[in-house]
Structure 1
Amino acid sequence: MNADASLRRRILVTLGVIVLFRLGQSLPTPHLTARAPEDDHPLRWILDLATGGGLATLPVFAFGVLPSLVALPVLRTLIVLIPRLAALRTEGEAGARALLRYQRRLTVVLGLPGAIAVVTFRGLEVLHSVVAVACLTAGAALVLRLTEVITDRGFGDGVRILLLAQVLAVLPAEFLRLYGTKGWAAVVVMAVVALSIAVLTVVLAQGQRRVPVQYAKRMIGVRAYGGAPTYIPLRFPQANSPAVLAAALLSLPSLWPGVGWLGDEGNPWRIAVYFVLVCAFAFIRAALSQDMDKVAGELVRVGGFVPGIRPGPWTAEYLDYVNRRVIAFGALCSGVVALIPAIGLALLDVNPRLPFAGVALLVVLVFLVSVTLDTARQFDALRLRKEYGPFLR
């Protein structure tokens, strides 16, 4: 199969799986009738985002990719706690296949209690309950299989692609609701918010500080190898956790007397405190996730060095100095990105259905941009393979 046919097949597979997934989220479950929360219920929007509106209509794919999304972090926690699972990570391909089987089983196990909980509150007959639980659990397992098909034969990570499809299916209704209450001003403000977050997220994701590295030449026989200059890319690791953690901390003092302004998301002082907390948490998280001593030790092991800097601890100190400046700038940008939806919602004077609406909007928009970037990178890699494949044979 040539490269053009491979690209076309991957695109068609991805689109076909998304269509099947959305059809499954429209197919009603036997013997179940939906009793969705009220439109202004505080949990309605977050449930719609997590399940693509599935818990509002109770289709066969009522849980969406939620069981598959939760199964991976649960499995990672179990790997830390259970030595047998930790040993599988060191067994290469065989261990990876075994962990994949455990992840599939865990997805079904997570879908089963959710199906039982949904059916229990419906008061169905025993036979009808069994049928409904079986359909919902089978739907969770089938969604897992659809994510694997996209990962193996389509573009991007299957769970993230289908989660993106869920979010895009819910957002238009939310924007229409906002337009119905605030008019065109809401459309303009939300467009500016979305565009600003997208641009800054792309800049942070693509930006890097290149530290030059030179490798010593090695003589093997009569030929010299190595010596080519290269670089170490220092990036700012992006994450939504600082904004979520900052919003969670700000919610606690709002219950105390005298600091009720922290509970008002449009209060300027609250926004300022929120910005400082996001910057601090982003800086701490990035600093803890990167070990420059390890990078410097790896350079010594392979015979590399930074021009003008002595190898070993001196290189680690230099890299740490440069990296702190990178993550300081990235943390400041993260704070600015976190401020954009908060200021936008404050300008609209929106009474959100969901607490921390600014954080929720930020997480959704950053997720959309990150999934788009990952998919574009994979598409670009396949395109380059098509162009330069004949020269590599």
Structure 2
Amino acid sequence: MEDHARAGKLVNLYHTNGQFTSAITARTTFGIDTESNIGADTDDKFTLCAKNIVKSFSKRNSWNIYIIYLLQKFPRLHLFLAEKLKINYVDECIMDNVSYLDALLLQGIAEREKLQHGGQGKKYQDFLQSLVAAKFARDAKITKKKSEDTNGSEPHTDKARPERLLTHEEVMAQLLTILFAGFDMTTSALQFCLYHLAVHPEIQNKVYKEIQELVHSEEPTHEEITKLVYMDQVINESMRLLPAVGIIGRTARETRSYGDITIPAGSSVYMSINRIHKDPKNFPDPEKFDPNRFSDEEKAKRDPLAFAPFGWGPRSCIGSRLVAQELKIALVYILRKVSFEVNEKTVPKKGEELEIFFSTQLTRVARPIQLQPTLRK
């Protein structure tokens, strides 16, 4: 971004931020290092794969949306097509990229199992290592139980067995979920936050001053990051106006009634996070960007569920804490070096509204946001 500022070039936020968040996702999930490619004109293989998968599910006016909803509504049909007929309704772009991730998964599991057998299982500290370690722990329990049964202890019953292991497909599904949460949500949240700061330079300057006062390390520490209270308010207000996920869907496990509304078991329930966040009862003048809404005093006045960019409860976003840390660290590094503005060359231009739409529950921009960076003096 410093190079773009010196050259007077605009920064394509989704492209650059995507490389940053992709590198973190690759490291924390698969143990892969792609950091050297951050800022390059072209994406590395992992980042390109992540962008392609997200892009395929975010096509505007796509029949994919309706097919996905249909399969969610009738899970038995989905299982029949996938397990019996081996039919998966996804396009070739997704399949090519999923095949690439599948190859990474197989390679990573094989390497970690080899290290685990050699007593070196702590070399990696990522999500995949956690899965492999859990697999070995459960395998050991099964082996021990079989040994006890052979030595004349009580017969081995289904109830006595450890919980079943995740299948390869289930592990892959979890990794894809993290890819969406860790890569796409963070990329979107960061670009929207930088956009709001560019539109409101007085707020951007206030965040910069807070960084200068509280962060003294070249590499910000966890303790320093937690002190950035105003930055946290800015991030929350940005996610209130433009949540990365605009709609959250759930399936009712049992019939429940709320007042005169009854939700039957098995029903699909969709909550518009975008509309909840703009309810004037909780947020007066809801279209105004005002970080002070998230001061301790203001938060105490409203129901906690009035703000839920990551969902709520036991099915909330698995990567919410990681996303929060990534956003703060990124803003510290960026705003120390450059400031952003909107002008006659940027997308959108100064005075223009950001054109957004919702696709497959995700918040999307009609055109990539491009801002003008300026070097800090």
Q: TM-score, normalised by structure 2?
A: 0.25
**Higher strand residue share:** 2
**Higher helix residue share:** 1
Q: Which has the higher contact order (CA 8 A, sep 6+)?
A: 2
Q: TM-score, normalised by structure 1?
A: 0.24
